[in-house]
Structure 1
Amino acid sequence: MSLPVPAERSVVDQIRLPFLESLAAEWEAGRHDNALVMLRERGVSKDLIRERYSGRYPFELLQNAEDAAAENGLVGRAHFEVTDTALLVADNGAGFSAKHIRAISTLGASTKDPETAIGYKGLGFKSVGEITDQPQIVSREHWFEFSAARARAAITAVTGELDHDFPLPTYALPFPTSPEDFGDDARRVQDLLDGGFTTVFRLPFRESVSREAPWSSSTTSTRPRPRRRS
């Protein structure tokens, strides 16, 4: 059975395209400095978040699984698996809706209730930037990714070439994704969905990341601990 491609992709377009249109309007009006400052500020913020959460991405993903399950009144269940090319993380939570995609695409925004959710600020997910430049999310009808390469291509199509180390706001630009983007992991992603998980994160390893990290075994299943209440 082939992995189905969701038909609904308008949400990611509604987030990405206005951002690029605003950038283009600034650029065409000759306000190049304003546009570059905006890009740099968003890009630097992304890098600062990654540094702040260095080493915490497994814990942050567990927190996300717990919080997502709480939306459905369930005990959180998460599955971690290392393949030849990526870390796969699946959970049994509520899945991604349009509001979740908008929240994860906005610095510091979140749909989580601070009274019930652990990582309510919505910043922790960006910690996966420690191991990947292309986090991919498969969740019911919403399939999307944040790609540093695709973001750079879209932005420089407006601005022209930028320095290689110019910080860009990768997480402001969600792109649609499809099974072809998962390579040899496509079948495994489908198996996890068929096994009752509602969301699968595929985190393709950056070349500098060891395939042995973060887990000593290739597959780990766990239930996040319930949050202690004071």
Structure 2
Amino acid sequence: LGRALHRLSLDLYSRDTHFVLELVQNADDNAYAAAAVPTLSFVIDDGGIVCLNNEEGFTEQNVRALCDVGHSTKAETSGYIGQKGIGFKSVFRVTDCPAIHSGGYHFQFDASQGNMGYIVPHWLDGPHSLISDDRLRQLPQSELIRGLLRDGTCIALPFKRAFDTAALLRNFHEVHESLLLFLNRLQRL
């Protein structure tokens, strides 16, 4: 099963940056508090990417869906873009160990531990310092990011190999802001 999932994610998502669109799509499909401005932020450095979103947080059902193949919490609900249950797996193009911190859940997958590492979670004690205080002070909108780290969903994607960060940044900039016109919920990217 793990080997098939790995092959499927490589075949379906042949570009290293497809995962960006998948994460944007997932953020658009998330639930938000009524007063929230649905926001998705990416912090990128030489070590990896931290994706921050001010959604309401993961539920047990969301965690179970990430640990499955072809199971989505969106499939039977209208108004959602994604519904195949494999989109998140595209992050394995850039990382072996995606870590998720959301709604009191703290876990990671570890594909370097074998094929089942794509779907078997490893529970973490709690949120780790995903962005150092020094790095945080250097970022534009550091207060927004600090709030997302404290109260939102954080997905850490440490790079699995030496990565051309400059090329990745160019690809991130190719995600045009007009994309927001076609999304249902997400208002800030």
TM-score by length of 1: 0.62
Q: Distance in 1 between matches of 2:6 and 2:88?
A: 11
Pairing 1:192–2:152 present: no
Amino acid at match of 2:88: F
Q: Kindly tell me: are residues 78 and 53 of structure 1, through their superposed partners in 2, closer, same or farther at Cα, counting changes over 3 Å?
A: same
**Are the structure 2 counterparts of residues 119 and 175 from structure 1 closer, same or farther at C-alpha, using a change threshold of 3 Å?**
same
In the alignment, the residues of structure 2 paired with residue 140 and residue 94 of structure 1 have an alpha-carbon distance, to the nearest angstrom, of: 7
1:128-167 aligned within 5 A: 128-149=91-112, 151-152=113-114
Whether the 8 Å CA contact 1:90–1:197 is kept in 2: the answer is no
The answer (yes or no) to whether the contact 1:205–1:211 under 8 Å persists in 2 is no
Q: Assess if the C-alpha contact under 8 Å between 2:46 and 2:163 holds in 1.
A: no
Structure 1 residue ranges without an equivalent (≥5): 1-40, 153-167
Maintained 8 Å contact 1:50/1:128: no
| Matched position secondary structure for 1:138 | strand
Q: Please name the residue that 1:172 is paired with.
A: 119
Amino acid in structure 2 at the alignment position of 1:115: S
Amino acid at match of 1:139: S
Q: Contact 1:90–1:199 (CA<8 Å) still a contact in 2?
A: yes
Tell me by how many angstroms 1:179 deviates.
Answer: 6.2
Percent of residue pairs bearing the same amino acid type: 27
Structure-2 separation of matches of 1:198 and 1:225: 23
Instruction: Report how far residue 116 of structure 1 moved.
Output: 1.3
Q: Deviations over 1:11-50 (max 9, x none)?
A: xxxxxxxxxxxxxxxxxxxxxxxxxxxxxx3322232123
**Helix, strand or coil: the match of 1:60?**
helix
Asked if structure 2 preserves the Cα contact closer than 8 Å seen for 1:57 and 1:125, the reply is yes
Q: Secondary structure at the match of 1:169?
A: helix
2:6 equivalent in structure 1: 46
Q: Distance in 1 between matches of 2:154 and 2:127?
A: 15
Supply the AA of the counterpart residue of 1:205.
F
Runs of 4+ residues over 4 Å off in structure 1: 71-75, 178-183, 217-220
Instruction: Tell me: CA distance 1:213–1:128, structure 2 relative to 1, closer, same or farther (3 Å).
Output: farther
* SS across alignment from 1:212: helix
The answer on 1:212 being equivalent to 2:166 is: yes
Per-residue CA distance 1:40-87 (angstroms, 9 max, x = gap): x33222321232022211100000000014x65665321011023111
Name the larger-Rg structure: 1
How much has 1:123 moved relative to structure 2? 0.9
Larger displacement relative to structure 2 (41-50 or 86-95): 41-50
| Conserved? CA contact 2:5–2:118, under 8 Å | no
TM-score by length of 2: 0.73
Q: Say if 2:21 is the partner of 1:62.
A: no
> Contact 1:138–1:144 at 8 Å: present in 2 too?
yes
Gaps of at least 5 residues in structure 2 are: 137-142, 185-189
Kept after mapping to 2: 8 A contact 1:67/1:76: no
Whichever residue aligns with residue 145 of structure 1, its letter is Q
Q: Does the 8 Å contact 2:96/2:110 carry over to 1?
A: yes
- Alpha-carbon deviation of 1:90? 0.9
* Alignment of structure 1 residues 115-134 onto 2, 5 Å: 115-134=78-97
One-letter code aligned to 2:145: L
Number of residues of Structure 1 aligned to a counterpart in Structure 2: 169
